[in-house]
Structure 1
Amino acid sequence: MESARYSYRPLTDHWKINLLQWIDQSYSHFCWTDGNNYKYPQGSFQTQLLAGNRELGEEEIWKTPNSKRAGIISYDFKNQIEKLKSTNPEFFSLPDLCFFEAEFELVLVEGQFRSSQPIPDWIWGNNPNRISNNLVSFSPQIDKATYLDRFAEIQQEIIEGNTYELNFCQAFEGVFEEFNPIDAYLELNRISPMPFSALFKANKKYLISASPERFIKKTGSQLIAQPIKGTAKRNPDPTIDQHNRERLKNSEKEKAENLMITDLMRNDLSKVSKTASVKVPELFGIYAFPKVFQMISTVSSELKPDISFEEIIKATFPMGSMTGAPKIKTMEIIEEKESFNRGWFSGALGIIEPNGDFDFSVIIRSIICDLSIKKLYFGVGSAITIDADAESEYEECLLKAEAIFKTLRGENYTPN
């Protein structure tokens, strides 16, 4: 790609606002990703911006790209892979697959911005055209009592042997008169900078993501999956913070949950990988994020020859960390026990390179909105096992959603 080169300057929020608003006004689709300089195993998202006006048809998505592509795979794509269905009410309609071809590309490489097109000089000015969000009115879709009832029902499913671990999610629905997704993204990224931060636009629909989790990455013939299972709260007091970290590291319950999902991902990768190539380079790694410690394992493998992007996705999607095990039966129980259609939540967002390499995150800690109907929603969940405590898991859900609460309300929020 012929590319203009720009001398490096720190991409401060006011430049990001100008840049993203210019792209937002100029293109129907865009995807901004930012790894926030995390030292993440196998790397975090690259800082880059892709934009285009042409959404790809489903058959085009699976073909080898001639240029970069960005897109979202909805959780409900599971219904095209397995004999499953989604009958719970949706907040608004979202496509199962939403990918576009990049016409504009800006990438941060070795301290310089490289852009496929000239960027207007005013973008680098000091006076951003910032539009603040109005406060969003939002509420939980189910109350705590209902959550606790469903929790007990799921543990009964475990007793009966129908599932071993199930990721049960609840949703929050919001309404607004005005909402600026760019401002919301920058605020969420300020409060909770993550290795897979992203802002995605498809016409009037936006995804605002502060995801800490990678779904799957392909580099040449190597695949990497990195499931997260295990969470502990951070604390400003260094002594308490270290205690919380060690408690997570040594928790037999959290390690058992993580191991089940790691084994599931090993099985998924084996479907498209060379015999005996599936390895676990790191098991039960503990990583620090602004609000939480997370337990992360890394699974790697070598692809069989001539395996396509479509085959890889259909072998591994949805990610086990957002379903549980065994995967298919557990997804059937999820459909029975949850009260909303997940849509893009717990799906995957990623970028595909022209050579076929790709990197996809898990869509969690994320806001999904539709400006045309002035609605948004976000989901949050945790793994339920036979040893899980309902009150603790409910509090974990609120902890995971804390940065979103603050982004939308500017304050702490506790549902009734």
Structure 2
Amino acid sequence: MSVAVFEISAYPNFRAQALAWAASFEECCYFDSNAYVDAYSKFESLLAVKAVTSFTATGNNTFAAVQQFITRNKGAFIPGYFSYDLKDEIEALRTPWQSPLDFPLAYFFVPQYLLKFQGTTVHIEGDSCLEIFNAILAFEETAPMADFKGSFQPRISKATYLATFDKFQQHIQQGDIYEVNLCQEFFAKDVSINPLAVFERLNMVSPTPFSSFFKFSNHFILSASPERFLAKRGMQLISQPIKGTAKRGKNAEEDALIKVQLRANPKEIAENIMIVDLVRNDLTLSALPGTVKADPILEVHSFQQVHQLISTISCQLNPAIPVVEAIKSTFPPGSMTGAPKISAMRLCDRYEASARGLYAGAIGYFAENGDFDFNVVIRTLLYHAERQYLSFHTGGAITLNADGEQEYAECLLKAAGILKALDTELLIQN
């Protein structure tokens, strides 16, 4: 495999052309940081194209099988995802619902071509780099712009959501749990869209640090996730859960006031600290003793649609722990479950009216040097092109002091970016 660097300042549409070219293959994955930079950032954006070899979960020992796949392909960049429903392999749980999307529980691939964008350059890895560069410049997208014509309907009515909310609060009062993340699905049937065009609009409407476009066969993932689930940098593990959400203001003054209010909101702070404690506990299973720390915590991060409270928990990885085992020990992301984690997931299985599937799971990559980085699958559209089924979930944390109407409104707020990208609305059932 050869590597070449090309200057692309003279080709302002090169990145979009590269993504359209990549989407013409059976498999591709695009990660975009949207210029968000922190201490753990690795690249501006990256495009992996065409599977040389791939892994599809069979529902049996998935995490161990992914570790074997990575070991066999050591030194390769490997993108992929873990579905939330892998929880059933980790704990004595069972999701009672079937998803019409029918995504595998996990999927990873080794790309034939890898493009890394940085500033005005692109690094191309693959056979015949110049041929790849010229093929991208010559590529013209021929897929029609099949705009979304319908609307989304909720899997449950607002009344059902509020009744479920009340049941969760009863469980909190009884001491079964002290926080839970209640999620709901919004879906549309008989949908024909251009997934790449929808992703590009979503990425424009909601530019986030962990955006991704993932295609394999008829499966498409269009993600505008703002949340890092777990990363490895050297021997350091980093998790950055989000808990605490507020809308953006109508002007700069209102926006600044909302940020101050979010940072001082007792309910939002309590939600965040509960999950910080949960993630700290999860990380101890993979950490060298005494290395787990939470710093900084309760930082306000602002995105196009919302403000969020984010905390950072890190540790030093015990070298005796395989990297996928470290992911398994913290999976699913604590911000999407509740606490205690197993009890919260069991109650979600009982009361939520749909399978989460990939939602609340993680999309990311294993790097050539042994590092990895995975997001939390939120603010994400999932599409099965053959079945013409389009879906997304939203959710929010329920604590003893939460209000059902406010939590339902937060679910709709989190849907705003997706709805705006599709220029559509929800058909709310009261």
- Residue 115 of structure 1 corresponds to 124
**Distance change >3 Å, CA 372–CA 317, structure 1 → 2:** same
Match 1:39 to one of 19, 33, 37: 37
**Distance change >3 Å, CA 148–CA 41, structure 1 → 2:** farther
Q: How does 1:318-329 map to 2 (within 5 A)?
A: 318-329=332-343
Asked if the contact 2:191–2:390 (Cα under 8 Å) also holds between the matched residues in 1, the reply is: no
Give me the whole-angstrom Cα distance separating, in 1, the residues matched to 2:76 and 2:281.
32
Q: Does 1:362 align with 2:376?
A: yes
CA offsets per residue over residues 325-364 of structure 1, 9 Å max, x none? 0000110000011000011111000110122100000000
3-state SS in 1 of match to 2:320: coil
Displacement, 1:404?
0.7
Q: Does 1:313 align with 2:310?
A: no
Asked if the contact 1:18–1:129 (Cα under 8 Å) also holds between the matched residues in 2, the reply is: no
Look up the equivalent residue of 2:161 and give its one-letter code.
Y
Give me the whole-angstrom Cα distance separating, in 2, the residues matched to 1:364 and 1:83.
25
Asked if the contact 2:246–2:308 (Cα under 8 Å) also holds between the matched residues in 1, the reply is: yes
- Residue 189 of structure 2 corresponds to 175
Displacement, 1:180?
0.8
Q: How does 1:265-304 map to 2 (within 5 A)?
A: 265-304=279-318
Displacement, 1:172?
0.6
Asked if the contact 1:106–1:115 (Cα under 8 Å) also holds between the matched residues in 2, the reply is: yes
Asked if the contact 1:91–1:341 (Cα under 8 Å) also holds between the matched residues in 2, the reply is: no
Q: Does 1:70 align with 2:79?
A: yes
3-state SS in 1 of match to 2:311: strand
Match 1:134 to one of 142, 147, 150: 147
3-state SS in 1 of match to 2:132: coil
Give me the whole-angstrom Cα distance separating, in 2, the residues matched to 1:244 and 1:103.
47
Asked if the contact 1:15–1:125 (Cα under 8 Å) also holds between the matched residues in 2, the reply is: no
Structure 1 gap ranges (5+): none
Give me the whole-angstrom Cα distance separating, in 1, the residues matched to 2:153 and 2:372.
36
Asked if the contact 1:45–1:197 (Cα under 8 Å) also holds between the matched residues in 2, the reply is: no
- Residue 19 of structure 1 corresponds to 18
Q: How does 1:14-413 map to 2 (within 5 A)?
A: 14-26=13-25, 28-40=26-38, 42-43=40-41, 46-53=44-51, 54-56=53-55, 58=62, 61-63=66-68, 64=71, 65-109=74-118, 111-116=120-125, 117=129, 118-121=131-134, 123-124=136-137, 129=142, 131-137=144-150, 138-408=152-422, 410-411=423-424, 413=426
Displacement, 1:89?
3.2
Displacement, 1:21?
2.7
- Residue 59 of structure 2 corresponds to none
**Distance change >3 Å, CA 185–CA 288, structure 1 → 2:** same
Displacement, 1:143?
1.1
Structure 2 gap ranges (5+): 57-61
Displacement, 1:207?
0.4
Root mean square deviation, CA, Å? 1.9
Displacement, 1:128?
5.4
Look up the equivalent residue of 1:24 and give its one-letter code.
A
Asked if the contact 1:45–1:195 (Cα under 8 Å) also holds between the matched residues in 2, the reply is: no
Give me the whole-angstrom Cα distance separating, in 2, the residues matched to 1:32 and 1:47.
7
- Percent same amino acid among aligned pairs? 37
3-state SS in 1 of match to 2:297: strand
TM-score using structure 2 length: 0.91
Give me the whole-angstrom Cα distance separating, in 2, the residues matched to 1:38 and 1:129.
32
Asked if the contact 2:184–2:394 (Cα under 8 Å) also holds between the matched residues in 1, the reply is: yes
Give me the whole-angstrom Cα distance separating, in 2, the residues matched to 1:175 and 1:298.
39
Give me the whole-angstrom Cα distance separating, in 2, the residues matched to 1:348 and 1:406.
24
CA offsets per residue over residues 125-176 of structure 1, 9 Å max, x none? 6975463232242211111111111110110010111111000000011124
**Distance change >3 Å, CA 125–CA 39, structure 1 → 2:** same
- Residue 7 of structure 1 corresponds to 7
3-state SS in 1 of match to 2:24: helix
Asked if the contact 1:234–1:291 (Cα under 8 Å) also holds between the matched residues in 2, the reply is: yes
Give me the whole-angstrom Cα distance separating, in 1, the residues matched to 2:242 and 2:414.
13
Give me the whole-angstrom Cα distance separating, in 2, the residues matched to 1:38 and 1:414.
34
Give me the whole-angstrom Cα distance separating, in 2, the residues matched to 1:98 and 1:283.
33
Look up the equivalent residue of 1:87 and give its one-letter code.
P
**Distance change >3 Å, CA 96–CA 130, structure 1 → 2:** closer
Give me the whole-angstrom Cα distance separating, in 1, the residues matched to 2:21 and 2:37.
30
Displacement, 1:212?
0.3
Give me the whole-angstrom Cα distance separating, in 2, the residues matched to 1:289 and 1:11.
28
Asked if the contact 2:362–2:374 (Cα under 8 Å) also holds between the matched residues in 1, the reply is: yes
Aligned pair count? 413
3-state SS in 2 of match to 1:382: strand
Asked if the contact 1:131–1:183 (Cα under 8 Å) also holds between the matched residues in 2, the reply is: no
Displacement, 1:377?
0.7
Deviates further, 55-64 or 287-296: 55-64
CA offsets per residue over residues 268-304 of structure 1, 9 Å max, x none? 1111101110011211000110111100000010011
Displacement, 1:313?
1.4
Give me the whole-angstrom Cα distance separating, in 2, the residues matched to 1:37 and 1:31.
18
